[in-house]
A and B are shown apart, each in its own frame.
Chain A
Amino acid sequence: MSDAKSIFLKDATVNAADGDQRAFIRKALGGYYTNRDLQKARYRDWEMARDVASMAKWTAVNDLANVLEKFVGNFERNGGVVHWARDAAEARAIILKIAEDANAKAIVKSKCMTSEEIHLNDALEKAGYGVVESDLGEFIQQLRGEAPYHFVFPCMHVKREAISELFTKHLGTAPTDSPEELTMIARRHLRQLYIDADIGITGANFLIAETGQISITENEGNARLTAALPRIHIALSGIEKVVNYLDDLSVLLPMLATAGAGQPMTCYNTLYSGPRKKGECDGPEQFHLVLLDNARTRLLADPEQRDALHCIRCGACLNVCPIFKNIGGLAYGTTYQGPIGSVITPHLRGLKQWNHLSGASSLCGACTDACPVRIDLHHHLLHNRRNAAKESPTLFDRLFHNGFNFVIKRPWLFAAGGRIFRATLPFLQKLPLPYMRAWMKTRDLPKAPSQSFRDQWKNQNV
């Protein structure tokens, strides 16, 4: 068993048994469902919008080389500098070099999951930079020293009391149980940090090929401030974020907000095309974009699951996932949690180590229905299971399924085996058999009938 799997099993088991925490997460998501349905109802045809959104991403991802090339040409024409990173280490090195060259000291960041993916904060802190996360949820998680719980709602699992204590400890503020006051504490604390920072680091939600702009989606205004006040703006993005046309955003931006957060649009959707231009009064002097592969091309090379690169990181699949809601985001041990994380992590970080996430699903399909860009999420979990069974089959699985197959290929054996199974079921239930014991711990089995269907049918129809 991989380390990742044993940690997952331990954490998932503990969390699944924590009824209070599970109820807290369900309650937190309650408003989302209501708002999402209200917003979706405003779409004249949500399904058609999904078609268009998925095709916008499909077209770009399946022509990635050309679309990226076009994007980069336009981005550079706008005065930005593009950097290429094959992996996390290269991306970190590039960003450290920019900071060093700029003689920077303080860095402010807005929410960027790609930076979590490459563990950027650790690297920057080790190199002596002061780094502060400005998104409220990320700020809280940074103070807690914990990874985001949900890639859109990073601290949704933390109760207000704990946040109040955290702020008292780190910021010396008086305790409060008001979310509003807690938010204002963070607001006041961060204002001066934006102004003093030398570098602002953001992510990117979309890269628009035809104009060379990057698009950033947020609610708080922290990304706006991060890209406005420091003298250097560094954006970090996966290579798959590209779309062909600016007009694609007229579909993607509202759908991202509705699917992910139940909003018509998030508060700020901002397009950046370069550093401060001539005649503009503010904005950074330098605009860098780090384009990261980090095994995305490995996923690209799998045509069956290539659509996972359509992901616009809205988080809708997490919000509807019964697994996510019951085990919580931290148990995944991944940058990207929930169904999309279970699909892509084996590609990004190794199937052998991470296939258990694909196994840990009832395949209910709620995620696939929720995905605004029609990623075939729950079927990809099946594909990962198949690939894993082929790549590194376990002896137990092989014996179990070949044994089962041996029986079901022979109807007489199936019938005979069934008879023995039924007759001995009361006894079997008490044995420490694999699977049986796990089932019996929390659930009963129906009382076995004396005759199977096939026996009764034969008797009836003789």
Chain B
Amino acid sequence: MRVSLFVPCFVDQLTPKVGLATAKVLKKLGHDVEFRASQTCCGQPSFNSGQWDVAREAAIRALTVFRSAEVIVGPSGSCVAMMRNFYPELLKGTAHAEEAADLASRTFEFSEFLVKKLGVIDVGAKFAKKVTYHDGCHALRELRLKEEPRQLLRAVKGLELIESEEAETCCGFGGLFSAKFPMISTAMVQVKGGALARTGADFVVSADPSCLLQIGGWLSREGKPILPLHIAEVLASDA
């Protein structure tokens, strides 16, 4: 299959290894992977801030960028939820409504794509570490992905998956929310990060790199011995 990557803007700039790992896994499974450099941001920051006119422009741009793509795979539940669920809402009643629905049907979150679209659970990865999984809210509640990433992790050789008591609790990122209401956001990540650290896992793994920015940022500041890692990085690992 020809897979067109959607790489979130902050992954592009801050954690490119997540994008590279995503491509690596897909290539390993025998797919053609392309990256269309005309893509930038999905528009979610503006959408969540109520600036729907601005977000609409970003949505229409994405429609153009990915017009001919067979499938679009993004290593981010959040950005994929934006494209899948919120583009159609943004473009409802416009000339782009139909195309938005079409794009939505071709866009997949990475773990969802592997499990639901490709039917792959074991990608042949090895990762002899203890990990705990963080459900990003968009992956969990907008895309309804709960078991898929866990299935993939359980199939990784040597990996021990430990559930955290707060697995489904929001990390408090929420995009600009984390900076507009920093104390609330921090209180939330204290609850989240505290529970993750208590699992004794070496890594907190998620399908949402934005959550990992928040969780990782707090864990690092607090000096907790648990590191953030994207699920694609785990699946790309062979050691």
- Does chain A touch chain B in the assembled complex, meaning CB atoms less than 8 Å apart? yes
Q: In whole Å, how far is A422's beta carbon from the nearest beta carbon of chain B?
A: 6
| Cβ–Cβ < 8 Å partners of B46 in chain A | 401, 404-405
Q: Judge whether A16 and B184 touch: CB under 8 Å.
A: yes
Q: Judge whether A458 and B15 touch: CB under 8 Å.
A: no
Residues 385-433 of A contacting B (Cβ, < 8 Å): 385-390, 397-398, 401-402, 404-405, 407-409, 411, 414, 418, 421-422
| Cβ–Cβ < 8 Å partners of B188 in chain A | 322-323, 326, 362
Q: Judge whether A366 and B170 touch: CB under 8 Å.
A: yes
Compute how far the CA of A18 lies from the CA of B50 in the bound complex, rounded to whole angstroms.
30
Interface bits B183-213 vs A (CB < 8 Å: 1, else 0)? 1111111110000000000000000000001
Compute how far the CA of A386 lies from the CA of B218 in the bound complex, rounded to whole angstroms.
30
Q: Judge whether B170 and A401 touch: CB under 8 Å.
A: no
Interface size class, chain B: 35 or more
B37, B48, B172, B187: the one within 8 Å of A382 (CB): B48
Q: Is A365 an interface residue (CB 8 A)?
A: yes
Compute how far the CA of A368 lies from the CA of B172 in the bound complex, rounded to whole angstroms.
17
**B-contacting 9-mer, from A56-64, A252-260, A281-289, A443-451:** A443-451
Nearest-neighbor residue (CB-CB) of B89 within chain A: A379
Q: Is A211 an interface residue (CB 8 A)?
A: no
User: 20 more A-B contacts (CB under 8 A) besides A362-B177, A408-B9, A451-B16?
Assistant: A9-B181, A22-B191, A359-B180, A360-B181, A362-B172, A365-B140, A365-B141, A366-B141, A368-B141, A382-B50, A401-B51, A405-B46, A409-B40, A443-B214, A443-B217, A445-B213, A446-B216, A446-B217, A454-B35, A457-B19
Q: Is A2 an interface residue (CB 8 A)?
A: no
Q: Judge whether B187 and A326 touch: CB under 8 Å.
A: yes
Q: Judge whether A438 and B51 touch: CB under 8 Å.
A: no
Compute how far the CA of A411 lies from the CA of B186 in the bound complex, rounded to whole angstroms.
33
Q: In whole Å, how far is B101's beta carbon from the nearest beta carbon of chain A?
A: 18
| Cβ–Cβ < 8 Å partners of A13 in chain B | 183-184
Q: Is A353 an interface residue (CB 8 A)?
A: no
Q: Judge whether A453 and B20 touch: CB under 8 Å.
A: yes
For A13, A363, A456, the residue with the greatest tally of chain B CB atoms inside 10 Å of its CB is: A363
Q: In whole Å, how far is A386's beta carbon from the nearest beta carbon of chain B?
A: 5
| Cβ–Cβ < 8 Å partners of A456 in chain B | 16, 20
Q: Is B45 an interface residue (CB 8 A)?
A: yes
Q: Judge whether B177 and A446 touch: CB under 8 Å.
A: no
Chain B interface main SS type: helix
Nearest-neighbor residue (CB-CB) of B140 within chain A: A365
Nearest-neighbor residue (CB-CB) of A413 within chain B: B40
Q: Judge whether B180 and A322 touch: CB under 8 Å.
A: no
Residues 101-145 of B contacting A (Cβ, < 8 Å): 137, 140-142
Q: Judge whether A422 and B217 touch: CB under 8 Å.
A: no
Q: Judge whether B173 and A446 touch: CB under 8 Å.
A: no
Q: Judge whether B221 and A442 touch: CB under 8 Å.
A: yes
- Show 20 residue pairs from A and B whose CB-CB distance is below 8 angstroms, ordered by the A residue: A17-B187, A325-B191, A363-B48, A364-B174, A366-B168, A382-B48, A389-B50, A389-B52, A390-B50, A401-B54, A422-B14, A435-B180, A444-B221, A445-B217, A446-B15, A449-B14, A449-B15, A454-B12, A454-B37, A457-B37
The A-B contact count (CB < 8 A) is 192
Q: Judge whether A363 and B220 touch: CB under 8 Å.
A: no
Q: Judge whether A22 and B187 touch: CB under 8 Å.
A: yes
Residues 246-281 of A contacting B (Cβ, < 8 Å): none
Q: Judge whether B16 and A452 touch: CB under 8 Å.
A: yes
Q: Is A84 an interface residue (CB 8 A)?
A: no
| Cβ–Cβ < 8 Å partners of B184 in chain A | 12-13, 16, 323, 326-327, 360
Q: Judge whether A439 and B38 touch: CB under 8 Å.
A: no
Q: Is B97 an interface residue (CB 8 A)?
A: no
Q: Is A116 an interface residue (CB 8 A)?
A: no
Compute how far the CA of A271 lies from the CA of B176 in the bound complex, rounded to whole angstroms.
47
Compute how far the CA of A421 lies from the CA of B10 in the bound complex, rounded to whole angstroms.
11
Q: In whole Å, how far is A341's beta carbon from the nearest beta carbon of chain B?
A: 15
A16, A325, A439, A449: the one within 8 Å of B217 (CB): A439
Residues of A within 8 A of B (CB): 9, 12-13, 16-17, 19, 22, 26, 322-323, 325-327, 359-366, 368-369, 382, 384-390, 397-398, 401-402, 404-405, 407-409, 411, 414, 418, 421-422, 434-436, 438-439, 441-446, 448-449, 451-454, 456-458, 461
Q: Judge whether A386 and B52 touch: CB under 8 Å.
A: yes
Q: Judge whether B183 and A418 touch: CB under 8 Å.
A: no
Q: Judge whether A359 and B57 touch: CB under 8 Å.
A: no
Q: Is B66 an interface residue (CB 8 A)?
A: no
With contact pairs A418-B12, A438-B180 given, residues A364 and B170 touching in the complex (Cβ less than 8 Å): yes
| Cβ–Cβ < 8 Å partners of A385 in chain B | 48-50
| Cβ–Cβ < 8 Å partners of B13 in chain A | 418, 421-422, 448, 452-453
Q: Is B61 an interface residue (CB 8 A)?
A: yes
| Cβ–Cβ < 8 Å partners of A421 in chain B | 13
Q: In whole Å, how far is B186's beta carbon from the nearest beta carbon of chain A?
A: 4
A-B pairs, top 9 by smallest CB distance, nearest first, are: A362-B174, A443-B217, A389-B50, A385-B50, A364-B170, A453-B16, A365-B141, A435-B179, A16-B187
| Cβ–Cβ < 8 Å partners of B61 in chain A | 408-409
